[in-house]
Structure 1
Amino acid sequence: MTLIKTLCALLLMLCCITVLAATKPIGGDFTLTDHHGETFELKQQRGKVVVMFFGYTWCPMVCPESLSHMAQVLRELEDKADQVKVVFITVDPERDTVEKLSQYVPYFNPNLIGLTGSAEATKQVADAYRARFTIKKKHATDDRYAVDHSADIYVLDRGGKVASIIPFGMPAQHILKVVSSVLEEGSAEAQAVKVSKVIPVKPPAKKLAFETLEKVTVEVAVPLVTFRPVDLNGQSFDLSAHIGKPLLINFWASWCPPCRAELPALNKAWAALKDDGVEMLAVNVGENKDAINAFLEDYPIDFPVLMDEAGDSMAQWKIKGMPTTIMLNASGEVVYHIAGERAWDSEGVLSQIRSLSQ
């Protein structure tokens, strides 16, 4: 009888522990390192609304889209923007160093804050907010791995408590409405707090997909003839002069790891295609001449490099992340609109590009 009572007591304790764990509120204070190398303590942000989300710099689509939305929210908050802190927490601290984040995060908006820390500290913060992530290394030395991660946006009130969790995919205007509500009222009751859902952001699982181009119909906002990037000497470059030949335009940035990773393949593709009547251009988005030239010293590009310092191409060409490559046929029609890295020097891709000349 005593043994049965003891077992019942243990079961009751386990049930209580389980219930307490399940009802533990989402969130909590943490300490990480920001992209300036300074200590960032959440508790020091009391009095401000904090908007935070998890991601990593190699993320091809989800994170750039979220960061772009956050940049838009800060712009539209105008004089209230100084009451809001927007925080991007990397789930890939092995690659996302302070230096890497300092190149990546400010590109979207100088007031965004990138945070990193040890693997243990990162997991503790993610667990506290019930965010999930899985590093998809194929082997111990794999340095081009993807990370599956939850992509919800957490809005913390002025007291540091989670007031709302916004699921990934909501437009910037919706995020702005929620943040404004928390600023004004301290809560956003219409937004239910729930456990994050994992958003797969890994590259194509099959090698075949990486070595092929998927045709996508994209309605470009402006005709090709009105898109006028400049060359590294500041001279306007007339893209319309290239109509009549297949044209590959690669949009890239120096802070973008996948952009750097695919450059050798693009150079090899240029060597293989330049005698086949195919034109290739590399358009840098958002950076100035000095930054581009410094980058090219370490990562040379063999085909023409152009600049779009104002970033107009992002809206004009429906670009949501870097790198993005657009291919036009000889008539100037968009045939391929490719987001993310590709094996441009593979036989499959080269064959598809050459077919545009036929």
Structure 2
Amino acid sequence: MMRIQSRLSNFMRIVLLGWLLLSIQSVQAGDWKTESLQVTDAEIPLQILPASTATRARMVWLPSEYGILSQERVLAEHLSEMGVESWMADFYEALFAAPTPSSLEQIPATWIKTLIDKSLEDGVPVWILAPNRAAKLALDGLVLRSQEGVTSTPGVILLNPNLYVQTPQPGEAAVYWSQVDAANLSVTVLQSELSPWRWRLTELAQHFANGGSDVFLQMLPKVRDRFYFRPDAMPIEQRAASHLAQTITRAMYLQLPYLSKARPLLNSAALEAKTEVQADKKSLDLQPYKGRQSLALSLFDLEGNQHDLKALQGKVVLVNFWASWCPPCVHEMPSMADLKRRYRDADFEILAVNLGEEAEAIDQFRAQHPVNFPILLDQDGIAVKEWRIFAYPSSYVVDKNGRIRYALFGATDWMQQDTLQKIGALLDEKR
């Protein structure tokens, strides 16, 4: 069942309001202490920050592929002032490995299950907070508990979760981990607005609903993924990071009525399908396109002129999806302009589709970074969904007959020899 807004009784609202008023007292945060979490095959360091006030809740932080971050420890200190105790398990130290996506995949589900079981022993309300790829860790442990017949679960807060088996190649459909469809949880997804994943929120929520989960979705406006620990954080992202603890506690309040609900495993069939994982093939060269064809693209540019890809048949067209807040997108644009100049006398066009930004912001960008190709507006994400964009920038090269021949995600140098040869060969083709 998908719930975007909570329906709380008047009594529950009064209880939560009282908790909020007590929580905003300014209290000195306590000191971290270190314990050990013993599992059958490892001893895992467990850092605990007690609540500065009476403990009202416990937050179990699962480290993402970036490890335990200093910014997350600061967040935990803010939560401590609100009566929330924090637990941070250092799985990477137990693995004798540095935090990386491949190291994260080595963390056993039994470790997560043991940590969750221990956190629930004393009856304090518990939430799991899992950012980025750590969302998969959370589901691993929680689904394992469900498979063993446990029907009580903590609340779950996923911050910009990455639950794709791997980043889809341009034009391909996303494949989610089977645990997403199997999990029966109370889960909140906090998703940054300036991200291609924002357009997949409803899709993700439906996958969770397949297992019986109650799902809450919240968009974090005008910030990028990893906004709270990005070295290039914009002022608005810094402000959002300073209020992130309050955002998290509000998500906790909304979930309170659902924590007592028994949550048996309802969709075990989802786990029977084995997910084949292949190594991500990341290349900065144009790759042959294998996805759907005849994709629609009809958008207006900044001057109000409509551009329809069908009307450009007879030309080779580079369709580039970008945003001004995406540094790699900005980095590759000068070479795109050089490419347009190189083929200015040929049947060649570039359409740069902007992701959901206001025209005024794009105008300001264009004043600082002049381009010689039209910038199209996709403020409702219509083209992003149609063209299955999961990463920025993403680019497609369409031949004279309107067929997509090449694609890539990531920034590239459009003037490199291999790229020029491929585009030149398309220009030489007869219709």
**Shorter-chain TM-score range:** 0.5 to 0.7
Q: Give CA deviations for 1:4-33 in whole Å, capped at 9, x if unaligned.
A: xxxxxxxxxx9x999884274893599977
Aligned to 1:217: 290
Aligned to 1:138: none
Rounded Cα–Cα distance in structure 1 between residues aligned with 2:219 and 2:264: 17
Q: Give CA deviations for 1:269-302 in whole Å, capped at 9, x if unaligned.
A: 1111222321111111212211110111222222
Q: Give CA deviations for 1:38-61 in whole Å, capped at 9, x if unaligned.
A: 99834549689665314799x995
Letter in 2 for 1:22: I
Rounded Cα–Cα distance in structure 2 between residues aligned with 1:257 and 1:201: 25
**Residues 299 and 306 of structure 2 are in contact (CA less than 8 Å); yes or no, is this contact kept in structure 1?**
yes
TM superposition shift of 1:309: 1.5
Aligned equivalent of 1:348, options 415, 418, 423: 418
**Residues 90 and 114 of structure 1 are in contact (CA less than 8 Å); yes or no, is this contact kept in structure 2?**
no
**Residues 250 and 282 of structure 1 are in contact (CA less than 8 Å); yes or no, is this contact kept in structure 2?**
yes
Rounded Cα–Cα distance in structure 2 between residues aligned with 1:223 and 1:89: 28
Rounded Cα–Cα distance in structure 2 between residues aligned with 1:65 and 1:42: 29
The answer to whether residue 261 in structure 2 is matched with residue 185 in structure 1 is yes
Aligned to 1:318, the other structure's residue is in SS state coil
Aligned equivalent of 2:226, options 73, 80, 90: 90
Letter in 2 for 1:53: P
TM superposition shift of 1:69: 4.5
Rounded Cα–Cα distance in structure 1 between residues aligned with 2:224 and 2:360: 27
Aligned equivalent of 1:265, options 331, 335, 343: 335
Aligned to 2:44, the other structure's residue is in SS state helix
Rounded Cα–Cα distance in structure 2 between residues aligned with 1:40 and 1:188: 34
**Residues 49 and 85 of structure 1 are in contact (CA less than 8 Å); yes or no, is this contact kept in structure 2?**
no
Percent identical pairs in the alignment equals: 21
Report the CA distance shift for 1:262/1:201 in structure 2 as closer, same or farther (over 3 A): farther
Report the CA distance shift for 1:184/1:326 in structure 2 as closer, same or farther (over 3 A): farther
Aligned to 2:322: 252
The answer to whether residue 60 in structure 2 is matched with residue 27 in structure 1 is yes
Rounded Cα–Cα distance in structure 1 between residues aligned with 2:418 and 2:377: 29
Aligned to 2:320, the other structure's residue is in SS state strand
Rounded Cα–Cα distance in structure 1 between residues aligned with 2:407 and 2:303: 28
Aligned equivalent of 2:78, options 30, 41, 52: 41
Aligned to 1:243: 313
Rounded Cα–Cα distance in structure 2 between residues aligned with 1:91 and 1:201: 27
Rounded Cα–Cα distance in structure 1 between residues aligned with 2:224 and 2:77: 12
Aligned equivalent of 2:402, options 328, 332, 339: 332
Aligned length: 260
TM superposition shift of 1:238: 2.7
Report the CA distance shift for 1:200/1:283 in structure 2 as closer, same or farther (over 3 A): same
Aligned to 1:341, the other structure's residue is in SS state coil
Report the CA distance shift for 1:331/1:66 in structure 2 as closer, same or farther (over 3 A): closer
Aligned to 2:130: 52
Report the RMSD for the aligned CA atoms in angstroms: 5.4
Report the CA distance shift for 1:66/1:51 in structure 2 as closer, same or farther (over 3 A): farther
Q: Which of structures 1 and 2 has the larger relative contact order (alpha carbons within 8 angstroms, sep 6+)?
A: 1
**Residues 354 and 377 of structure 2 are in contact (CA less than 8 Å); yes or no, is this contact kept in structure 1?**
yes
**Residues 295 and 387 of structure 2 are in contact (CA less than 8 Å); yes or no, is this contact kept in structure 1?**
no
TM superposition shift of 1:325: 0.8
Aligned to 1:231: 301
Letter in 1 for 2:261: E
**Residues 316 and 400 of structure 2 are in contact (CA less than 8 Å); yes or no, is this contact kept in structure 1?**
yes
Aligned to 1:316: 386
Aligned to 1:95, the other structure's residue is in SS state coil
Aligned to 1:342, the other structure's residue is in SS state coil
Report the CA distance shift for 1:261/1:95 in structure 2 as closer, same or farther (over 3 A): farther
Rounded Cα–Cα distance in structure 2 between residues aligned with 1:40 and 1:72: 34
Report the CA distance shift for 1:181/1:274 in structure 2 as closer, same or farther (over 3 A): farther
Matching of residues 191-206 of structure 1 within 5 Å: 204=282
Compare 236-245 and 330-339 and name the one that shifted more.
Answer: 236-245
Rounded Cα–Cα distance in structure 1 between residues aligned with 2:236 and 2:411: 19
Report the CA distance shift for 1:237/1:116 in structure 2 as closer, same or farther (over 3 A): same
Aligned to 1:335, the other structure's residue is in SS state strand
**Residues 232 and 289 of structure 1 are in contact (CA less than 8 Å); yes or no, is this contact kept in structure 2?**
yes
Rounded Cα–Cα distance in structure 1 between residues aligned with 2:219 and 2:314: 49
Rounded Cα–Cα distance in structure 2 between residues aligned with 1:301 and 1:325: 17
Aligned equivalent of 2:360, options 269, 280, 290: 290
Rounded Cα–Cα distance in structure 2 between residues aligned with 1:45 and 1:188: 30
Structure 1 unmatched ranges of 5 or more = 1-13, 104-112, 118-156, 160-178, 192-198
**Residues 396 and 408 of structure 2 are in contact (CA less than 8 Å); yes or no, is this contact kept in structure 1?**
yes
Report the CA distance shift for 1:234/1:45 in structure 2 as closer, same or farther (over 3 A): farther
Q: Give CA deviations for 1:197-233 in whole Å, capped at 9, x if unaligned.
A: xx999994xxxx43x311121204x644xx3100112
Letter in 2 for 1:52: A
Aligned to 1:274, the other structure's residue is in SS state coil
Rounded Cα–Cα distance in structure 1 between residues aligned with 2:70 and 2:46: 22
Report the CA distance shift for 1:53/1:315 in structure 2 as closer, same or farther (over 3 A): same
